[in-house]
Amino acid sequence: MDIDLLKHLILDQKEAFSQSAGLIGRDTKESVKDLISAKQIIVISGVRRAGKSSFLKLIAKELMKKREISADQLFYVNFDDEFFVDFKKEDFNKLLSAYYEICGIKNKKIYCFFDEIQNVEYWEKWIHKLYETGNFKIFITGSNSSLLSSEIATSLTGRNYTMEIFPFSFPEFLRFKKIDWKGSLTTKQESLIRKEFNIYLKSGGFPETIEAKLNILPDFYKNIIYRDIISRFNIKNAKEFRELSLYLASNNGSLMSYRELAKRIEGIGSSMTIKNYVSHLEDAYLFFPVRKLDSSVKRQIINPFKIYGIDNGLLGTVAFGLSDNYNKLYENLTFLSLRRKKRDDIYYYKADYETDFVVLEKNKASKVIQVCYSLKDIKTEKREKRGLLRALNDLKAKTGFIINNDIEKEEKENGKIIKYIPLWKWLLE
């Protein structure tokens, strides 16, 4: 690429990157302060449009305000820009030269922010080269965990720290809307929060959609499917792949198997192909499989699994009738809250009766959860309690939760504690 073009791109992107109005802090396990102080390359992974670029801006803002880093020491490049389509590995050195010509920095540490860098082949070798000089602090983002992980393993093992960014959680959603939920709530405050929760439940938490007048989620979905999966993995059966994604979205929270999916999606045939496709969808953060808790790893793999989606709003744009299925919406939102905190060790449990979620900590059940929108039917409540108690007894756990729409109480039965709690309140805890 021409070095003058690269200069223009750097300057244009630098101006956009400097705009930080309206940003809110994210509830990540890692603080911005700790990420800046870490010696490792920081890898920020997550679904497209979840706010990874905005998180980079928060880091840059912290650097300039509290670390007194000059704007010229910030080197930002968004490789998702259409002008980088023809960018090759040979252009990396030109890019760095263009930056130095613009900023004229000498003998100072450079803070690099590289968005969607996995779009360029052999990026990890260039990043490794920068890192080894000791003059660069590097933050990179990507929308595909598989590609990032495989490339990082090649050159950056032990030199990187990976974190995830999801669409807004409910607390982040409220913070974005400048609504306070902490402390004792008045009746008016609780009413407002419940109203906002009903919006969030269906619309989801992609930052750009909250105040958008048009429905932009279908475009988000298409970009994830085509740019992050079909194009990147060179999938030939694009039509069948789209049908699989639609089926998963329409049946989130339902039990399924690779063999069953292969029978349902005509034209694929192989359960191994289905397994690979589901893996690609998971790598792009679109869907997440949850397996049955079992002492045998082999049985965990063989048993049917459940699928959950990255965002209720995104699922609702492609899955017919989902926006009116409150049980599925509640269950998916509960899973997402758990997944934000735990990458692995989230299971469902089944022994005569089914329990929606079990979270393991050090091989012990730390959370046992049933999710049901309405408990007005006594039979429904008995069924949910029966499954929860069975799991608590089998897993030797003391406390379980039944997450629902409006009931809040606590019961004790056979030495076990059952806590009923509305989903909106559980999400804020």
Residues of the chain with pLDDT > 70, as a percent, come to 100
Q: CA-to-CA distance for 291 and 348, rounded, in angstroms?
A: 6
Same domain, residue pair 180 and 260: no
Does some domain include residue 183? yes
Question: What pLDDT does 388 receive?
Answer: 98
pLDDT tens digits for range 137-161: 999 999 988 878 877 877 787 889 9
8 Å CB contact between 406 and 424: no
Same domain, residue pair 154 and 131: yes
CA atoms within 13 A on the CB side of 87: 25
Question: What pLDDT does 106 receive?
Answer: 76
Please tell me the total count of domains within the chain. Answer: 4
pTM of the model: 0.94
pLDDT tens digits for range 50-80: 999 999 999 999 999 888 899 999 999 999 9
Question: What pLDDT does 203 receive?
Answer: 96
Average pLDDT, the chain: 94
Euclidean distance between the first and the last CA atom of the chain, given in angstroms as a whole number: 51
Strand 110-115 with 74-78, pairing: parallel
Report residue 302: phi and psi, to 5°. Answer: -75, -40
Question: What residue has token string 């030269």?
Answer: 97
Q: CA-to-CA distance for 195 and 323, rounded, in angstroms?
A: 16
Does some domain include residue 298? yes
Same domain, residue pair 239 and 97: no
Does some domain include residue 219? no
Specify the CATH number for the domain of residue 89: 3.40.50.300
Does some domain include residue 14? yes
Question: What pLDDT does 43 receive?
Answer: 94
pLDDT range class, residue 288, cuts 50, 70, 90: very high
For the beta sheet containing 110-115, the strands, ordered from the edge strand earlier in sequence to the opposite edge, are 74-78, 110-115, 136-142, 41-45, 160-164
**Residue 322 reports pLDDT greater than 90:** no
**Residue 107 reports pLDDT greater than 90:** no
Query: Among 276, 301, 324, where does a domain finish?
Result: 324
Write out the residue range of the structural domain in which residue 198 sits.
169-214
**Residue 357 reports pLDDT greater than 90:** yes
| Six-digit token string for 322 | 């989902």
| Six-digit token string for 87 | 């960018």
**Residue 326 reports pLDDT greater than 80:** yes
Least confident of 165-174, 276-285, 291-300: 291-300
Same domain, residue pair 271 and 394: no
Least confident of 35-39, 56-60, 158-162, 374-378: 158-162
**Residue 132 reports pLDDT greater than 80:** yes
Specify the CATH number for the domain of residue 352: 3.40.1350
pLDDT tens digits for range 217-274: 999 999 999 999 999 899 999 999 999 999 999 999 999 999 999 999 988 879 999 9
Same domain, residue pair 390 and 418: yes
**Residue 360 reports pLDDT greater than 80:** yes
Does some domain include residue 198? yes
Same domain, residue pair 296 and 333: no
Question: What pLDDT does 158 receive?
Answer: 80
Same domain, residue pair 159 and 13: yes
Does some domain include residue 81? yes
Does some domain include residue 283? yes
Does some domain include residue 152? yes
**Residue 178 reports pLDDT greater than 80:** yes
Q: CA-to-CA distance for 235 and 287, rounded, in angstroms?
A: 17
Same domain, residue pair 314 and 291: yes
CB atoms within 10 A of CB 401: 20
Report residue 265: phi and psi, to 5°. Answer: -95, 100
Same domain, residue pair 64 and 148: yes
Residue type, 37: S
Q: CA-to-CA distance for 229 and 235, rounded, in angstroms?
A: 8
Same domain, residue pair 205 and 146: no
Query: Among 283, 298, 324, where does a domain finish?
Result: 324
Q: What is the mean pLDDT of residues 324-341?
A: 96
Query: Three-class SS of residue 210?
Result: coil
Same domain, residue pair 394 and 410: yes
8 Å CB contact between 274 and 224: no
Same domain, residue pair 156 and 7: yes
Specify the CATH number for the domain of residue 253: 1.10.10
Q: CA-to-CA distance for 319 and 254, rounded, in angstroms?
A: 14
| Six-digit token string for 392 | 């608590």
